[in-house]
Amino acid sequence: MTNSFSDFAKAKMILVIGSNMTEAHPVAASLLKMAVIGGAELIVVDPRRTPLVDLASLHVQIKVGSDVAFLNGVMNVLVTEDLYDKNYVESCTMGFEELKQKVLEYPPERAAAISGVGADVIRTVARRLAANRPAMLMYTLGITEHICGVNNVMSCANLQMLLGNVGFECGGVNPLRGQNNVQGACDMGALPNVFPGYQRVDNPQAREKFAAAWKVEKLPEKPGLMIPQMIDGLLDGKVKAFYIFGENLANTEPDIRHVEHCLATAEFLVCQDIFPTETTRFAHVVLPAAAWSENDGTFTSSERRVNRVRTASAPPGEAKPNWWIFKEIARRMGYVWESDSAQELWDNEVSQLAPSMAGIKYFRLEGNGLQWPAPSLESEGTSYLHKDGCFTCGLGVFKAIDWIPPAEIPDGEYPLVLSTGRRLYHYHTRTQTGRSDGLNVLLSEETADISEADADKYGIADGEMIAVKSRRGRVAVKAKITPQVPPGMVWMAFHFREGCANWLTNPVYDPITLTAEYKACAVAVEKIA
């Protein structure tokens, strides 16, 4: 996030696109609700009528996978009606002419034909955003989980820079991370192309610095593999051993049957987790990890805030902190890692090697923590990035982007679009929440959410068992008829194994991030006799 959660409650104009905040990020949503109560205007762009829509002045019911076309249409209006921030664009950005030529190809009528959003609504969105600056833009996985996820994110950034909304309080581009401490994991280098602090592995100076600190001769020059490449590598033998740490891949990855086939072929599979999962069934070794409440360490939230986590209870049985497990494996491989606690790991390694976190030490994390960048001990952290339009790289760069359709679109055999997400009462694959009797009472099974029009069309009654089918699989699940879902759509989550949407989802990926297109695939529904 460029900005802070505290901005949510103070904002006067908010655009939420591709995010079901009230269910997926309810705490953040509560701050947004405070802003609306205080008079803020809220525009929600979402194919479904989520609970957040009830608070919005405008619900833009977009077609699945049409975000770039819609955003280009909005920017077309800003440019053609001379509503964009010229001073900001001229002084703080580059690439405007290329962007201008591209968005001129998307007049509201063309954007409407692609997105299903009326041309007049597109004009209204543009004019309201221009009239109320700065505006905060928030998105989540509804933007990123497409084959054009990177393009979607770039389009959000294009819009905010065009409006002059980046580098100010209550503005910016604000992705709400999909899972707890995802931000922190990425900050620590849990990506195949960067070291901690987002220092690229293809940078010779970065490699030399980390090799010296880690006391190894050299580090690989090329980025490592992404998860889909790892999984497929098990089949062709390019991956001999697979270490899965805190992930339940047998439920979270698209096309579960393919994933399980790959896992079953692994020569050596290690799972490190706090509970048995659908994935640990394939493991040759399971290492018992301590849970978050049994660990001492840090979490970093979506707003880049590093907070302390303290041990509330001792790990049961043979369970150990994750860092301890990694250290012991390294020791048995001939490497002695000196740090012997979460504090030492942070103070002696992270803050020493990551410039953006150089000023963050354990003794400074009491209370409300610190937001990076905090480059020195004198720094109080950074509540919002790119202050006054001064970008880290110098100028903000516009990217001219074309819309591309989802990889799979409805046809005669599979006439509906399946989109997926999360429900309020369970988290992810229920590894933890599924062990709560109370939560299982609140939500005991998965449903396939469909519109009343589609229910009538296919002769389906509310609560009736139906089959949802794609080119990859078939799931038996109860139908839920709801006004939240537009005609032509089926919406499902992936919390419950039997009704998991990932038996159906399409294993196609954004070419840069290799994020799967969970939000769009073609399906059919039928009654179960």
Tokens of 391: 């970008």
Clarify whether residues 441 and 370 are in a common domain. no
Q: Does 407 reside within a domain?
A: no
CA 124 from centre of chain: 28
Clarify whether residues 171 and 198 are in a common domain. no
| Alpha carbons 86 and 356: distance in angstroms, whole number | 31
Residue listed under structure tokens 């104009």 = 13
Clarify whether residues 495 and 421 are in a common domain. yes
Tokens of 96: 């405007």
| Alpha carbons 378 and 359: distance in angstroms, whole number | 7
pLDDT band, very low/low/confident/very high, at 512 (cuts 50, 70, 90):
very high
Query: Does position 232 have pLDDT exceeding 80, yes or no?
Result: yes
What percentage of the chain has pLDDT greater than the value 70? 100
**Residue 282 CB: number of other CB atoms within 10 A?**
20
DSSP string, 259-318: HHHHHHT-SEEEEEESS--TTGGG-SEEEEBPPGGG--EEEE-TTSEEEEE---SPPPTT
Query: Does position 487 have pLDDT exceeding 90, yes or no?
Result: yes
Domain of residue 94 covers 5-176
How many domains in the chain?
3
Q: Does 244 reside within a domain?
A: no
Query: Does position 181 have pLDDT exceeding 90, yes or no?
Result: no
Clarify whether residues 110 and 24 are in a common domain. yes
Summarize pLDDT for 139-173 with one digit per residue, the tens: 999 999 999 999 999 999 999 999 999 999 999 99
CA 146 from centre of chain: 11
| The predicted structure's pLDDT at residue 482 | 97
Clarify whether residues 489 and 348 are in a common domain. no
Summarize pLDDT for 263-286 with one digit per residue, the tens: 999 999 999 999 999 999 999 999
Q: Does 487 reside within a domain?
A: yes
| The predicted structure's pLDDT at residue 126 | 98
Q: Can you give the CATH number for the domain in which 482 is found?
A: 2.40.40.20
Residue listed under structure tokens 């030529």 = 101
Clarify whether residues 310 and 455 are in a common domain. no
Tokens of 232: 């497929």
Last residue within a domain, chosen from 141, 176, 211: 176
Residue listed under structure tokens 């050299």 = 218
Clarify whether residues 109 and 201 are in a common domain. no
| The predicted structure's pLDDT at residue 413 | 97
Q: Does 385 reside within a domain?
A: no
Contacts of 164 (CB under 8 A, 6+ apart): 84, 85, 87, 88, 89, 92, 133, 134, 389
3-state secondary structure of 99: helix
Contacts of 195 (CB under 8 A, 6+ apart): 189, 201, 206, 210, 353
Query: Does position 177 have pLDDT exceeding 90, yes or no?
Result: no
| The predicted structure's pLDDT at residue 25 | 93
Q: Does 335 reside within a domain?
A: yes
Q: Can you give the CATH number for the domain in which 331 is found?
A: 3.40.50.740
Clarify whether residues 191 and 317 are in a common domain. yes
Query: Does position 212 have pLDDT exceeding 90, yes or no?
Result: yes
| The predicted structure's pLDDT at residue 445 | 94
Summarize pLDDT for 446-459 with one digit per residue, the tens: 999 999 999 999 99
Summarize pLDDT for 66-109 with one digit per residue, the tens: 999 999 999 999 999 999 999 999 999 999 999 999 999 999 99
Q: Does 283 reside within a domain?
A: no
Clarify whether residues 316 and 353 are in a common domain. yes
| The predicted structure's pLDDT at residue 481 | 98
Mean of per-residue pLDDT scores for the chain: 95
| Alpha carbons 369 and 66: distance in angstroms, whole number | 39
Last residue within a domain, chosen from 354, 376, 398: 376
| Residue among 112, 61, 146, 64 at smallest CA distance from 483 | 61
| Residue among 1, 21, 15 at smallest CA distance from 421 | 21
| The predicted structure's pLDDT at residue 392 | 80
| The predicted structure's pLDDT at residue 180 | 78
User: Which stretch of 33-37, 181-185, 267-271, 286-290 has the lowest confidence by average pLDDT?
Assistant: 181-185
Tokens of 473: 């699989």
Q: Does 140 reside within a domain?
A: yes
| The predicted structure's pLDDT at residue 155 | 98
Query: Does position 441 have pLDDT exceeding 80, yes or no?
Result: yes
Q: Can you give the CATH number for the domain in which 138 is found?
A: 3.40.228.10
pLDDT band, very low/low/confident/very high, at 199 (cuts 50, 70, 90):
very high
| The predicted structure's pLDDT at residue 178 | 76
- pTM across the whole model: 0.95
Clarify whether residues 133 and 30 are in a common domain. yes
Tokens of 203: 């940078």
Last residue within a domain, chosen from 176, 193, 212: 176
User: Which stretch of 164-168, 391-395, 423-427 has the lowest confidence by average pLDDT?
Assistant: 391-395
What stretch of H or E contains 527? strand 521-527
Query: Does position 129 have pLDDT exceeding 90, yes or no?
Result: yes
Q: Does 433 reside within a domain?
A: yes
Average pLDDT over residues 412-418: 98
Angle at the Cα of 163 (from 162 to 168), degrees rounded to 5? 115
Note whether 119 and 111 are within 8 A (CB): yes
Clarify whether residues 199 and 347 are in a common domain. yes
Clarify whether residues 57 and 190 are in a common domain. no
| The predicted structure's pLDDT at residue 44 | 98
DSSP string, 167-193: SSTT-SEEEPPSSTTHHHHHHTT-STT
Residue 212, Cβ density class (10 Å: 0-12 exposed, 13-18 middle, ≥19 buried) = exposed
- Specify whether the backbone of 319 is left (phi greater than 0), alpha (psi in -120 to 50) or beta: beta
